[in-house]
Amino acid sequence: MRVTVFGIGYVGLVQGAVLAEVGHDVVCVDVDPGKVERLKQGQIPIYEPGLENLVRDNHAAGRLNFTTDAVTGVRHGEVQFIAVGTPPDEDGSADLQYVLAVAETVAEHMDSHKTIVDKSTVPVGTADKVSARIAEILANRDRDDLAFDVVSNPEFLKEGSAVADCMKPDRIIIGTTSARAEELMRELYAPFNRNHEKIIVMDVRSAELTKYAANCMLATKISFMNEMASLAEQLGADIEMVRQGIGSDPRIGYHFIYPGAGYGGSCFPKDVQALIRTADHIDFDAKVLKAVESRNDEQKTSLFKKIYKHFNGQLAGKTIALWGLSFKPNTDDMREAPSRVLMEALWQAGASVQAYDPEAMEEAQRIYGSRDDLALYGTKEAALRGADALVIVTEWPSFKAPDFDVIKEQLQQPVIFDGRNLFEPKRLRQKEIKYYSIGR
Ligand SMILES: NC(=O)c1ccc[n+]([C@@H]2O[C@H](COP(=O)([O-])OP(=O)(O)OC[C@H]3O[C@@H](n4cnc5c(N)ncnc54)[C@H](O)[C@@H]3O)[C@@H](O)[C@H]2O)c1
């Protein structure tokens, strides 16, 4: 099938590559000429396990092409995916300008039936807005004869395992009431639906809300556990024991109940906020979501508070080694990352940071440029040299079993702040390292 994907980001690039891998003929369109040029030369703009080979192989096979030419894109695909960003607007609601810009482009250049698929995370009612905009432009073009469908098909991939998630999705949500669109989407996704039925067809608004409900549920689990962790700290309990104690209940489960330094990334913070705003617009007070958000904002400051207290507020002139810049392991994405809140607070207090991350160093350089109080090192050991403390912010696998003797040797003072509870407190006591973690 001929498919066009607008937006070559985490979602669009992975989706395009995976669809090409099963044999679809995919054209990816982006407004960023540098990105398109690099992709044509086989350079992948993001780090995502397995993506590089997938993109190169399918590009070489001629099934995956990249362009800035929107007209070529519109003409190419029977299916037109919208996978552009939906960043928070000033008031926190999802900014739909990029989604609607793609809808307009499609409407201006289409000359046959198109199925337009909202893959971006968009508020309930967006498909209706997209339909209305397309109909208006077709009417202005005197092309009311052209038919189209707008489908909601939210994406559930996780950064860090995006390729695997798209190759073997847990579920494929298709929001449409059009029989034609349903049939086309079933055909498109048939290669991913062989093992067992994963397609769930529903009305458009339910599909749009499903995406927000999923992310908000996960964010709620995290904020709940962070609240339990703070309580455990005050009450003299160990949240890691509590976590295992409740996770063993199948109604609760072990997933997503790790306490930590707060959730980040391009999705949870913005989607929780956007759903709160959606509720506000209909005068509905989303009390749980508001609590989830404010708990997370507070949690992102928790590591800094522990560091501040340890050093009695005397952070000016101190050097802090920081392991982990990305918002979670296996990605270079630093959007809304807890590391950023922490570094900015440390700088504000006059400390400097020596950081290491397996993948996000270039991204850190891009965001912060060169500043005197941030040094990026090529190994986790080098980042320790002469620092007054080590802070672990992201649970990269390579941080899980470090050589504690090296850490002690390299640091001025043997103290670790662990935002991910990677180590046994008893082991660190034996090593005579002062150890702060979350909720223990
Ligand atoms: N990143 C994730 O893990 C994830 C997961 C599920 C859903 N989503 C949702 O998917 C959407 C995209 O997220 P992302 O992380 O891939 O975004 P991204 O910022 O990585 O990529 C968006 C891309 O769209 C391009 N773009 C903007 N306007 C365009 C236009 N008019 N035509 C063509 N390209 C255009 C940008 O240049 C950019 O390359 C968002 O709504 C997000 O909430 C993201």
Express each pLDDT in 307-316 by its tens digit: 999 999 999 9
CB of 266 shorter than 6 A to ligand 1: yes
CB of 10 shorter than 6 A to ligand 1: yes
Domain range 212-298, its CATH number among 1.20.210.10, 1.10.1040.10, 3.40.50.2000, 1.10.1840.10: 1.10.1040.10
Are 23 and 58 in contact by the 8 Å Cβ rule? The answer is no
Which of ligand 1's atoms lies nearest the C-alpha of 102? 31
Instruction: List pLDDT tens digits, range 398-417.
Output: 999 999 999 999 999 999 99
Give the mean pLDDT of 99-117.
98
CB of 274 shorter than 6 A to ligand 1: no
| 79-82, strands of its sheet edge to edge | 64-67, 25-29, 2-6, 79-82, 114-118, 148-152, 172-175, 199-202
Angle between helices 338-348 and 302-310 (to 10 degrees): 40
Can 267 be counted among the known catalytic residues?
A: yes
CB of 11 shorter than 6 A to ligand 1: yes
Q: Would you say the C-alpha torsion 9, 274, 348, 343 has a positive or negative sign?
A: negative
Per-residue pLDDT at 15: 98
Choose one of 266, 271, 335 to mutate for the ligand 1 pocket test, by most ligand atoms within 8 angstroms of C-beta.
266
C-alpha–C-alpha distance, residues 31 and 27, integer Å = 13
C-alpha–C-alpha distance, residues 274 and 293, integer Å = 11
Nearest CA, atom 44, ligand 1? 11
Single-letter amino acid, residue 353: V
Are 336 and 363 in contact by the 8 Å Cβ rule? The answer is no
Residue tagged 């997503």 (tokens): 256
Instruction: List pLDDT tens digits, range 166-200.
Output: 999 999 999 999 999 999 999 999 999 999 999 99
For residue 204, what is the DSSP state?
H
For residue 88, what is the DSSP state?
B
Are 137 and 74 in contact by the 8 Å Cβ rule? The answer is no
Q: Which of 40, 37, 30, 5 is nearest to 19 (CA)?
A: 5
Phi-psi region of 213 (alpha: psi -120 to 50; beta: other; left: phi over 0): alpha
Are 45 and 38 in contact by the 8 Å Cβ rule? The answer is yes
CB of 14 shorter than 6 A to ligand 1: no
Domain 300-436 architecture:
3-Layer(aba) Sandwich (3.40)
Instruction: Tell me the residue length of the chain.
Output: 440
CB atoms within 10 A of CB 248: 10
Which position among 28, 166, 216, 267 bears the catalytic label? 267
Nearest CA, atom 21, ligand 1? 9
DSSP β-ladder status, 319-323 and 352-356: parallel
For residue 89, what is the DSSP state?
-
Which of ligand 1's atoms lies nearest the C-alpha of 10? 16
Q: State the greatest distance between any 2 C-alpha atoms of the chain, in Å, as a whole number.
A: 79
Per-residue pLDDT at 347: 98
CB of 32 shorter than 6 A to ligand 1: yes
Per-residue pLDDT at 121: 97
Task: For residue 213, give both structure tokens.
Answer: 């409900």
CB of 31 shorter than 6 A to ligand 1: yes
Instruction: List pLDDT tens digits, range 335-380.
Output: 999 999 999 999 999 999 999 999 999 999 999 998 999 999 999 9
The CATH 3.40.50.720 domain(s) of the chain lie at: 2-202, 300-436
CA of 5 to the centre of ligand 1 (A): 11
Per-residue pLDDT at 90: 87
C-alpha–C-alpha distance, residues 186 and 199, integer Å = 8
Q: What is the mean pLDDT of the chain?
A: 97
The CATH 1.10.1040.10 domain(s) of the chain lie at: 212-298
Has this prediction a pTM greater than 0.85? yes
Per-residue pLDDT at 125: 96
**64: pLDDT strictly greater than 90:** yes
Choose one of 5, 14, 30 to mutate for the ligand 1 pocket test, by most ligand atoms within 8 angstroms of C-beta.
30
Nearest CA, atom 11, ligand 1? 120
**249: pLDDT strictly greater than 90:** yes
Give the mean pLDDT of 282-299.
98
Domain range 2-202, its CATH number among 3.30.70.100, 3.30.70.20, 1.10.10.60, 3.40.50.720: 3.40.50.720
Nearest CA, atom 4, ligand 1? 11
Which helix (H) or strand (E) segment holds residue 116: the answer is strand 114-118
CB of 22 shorter than 6 A to ligand 1: no
C-alpha–C-alpha distance, residues 253 and 273, integer Å = 26
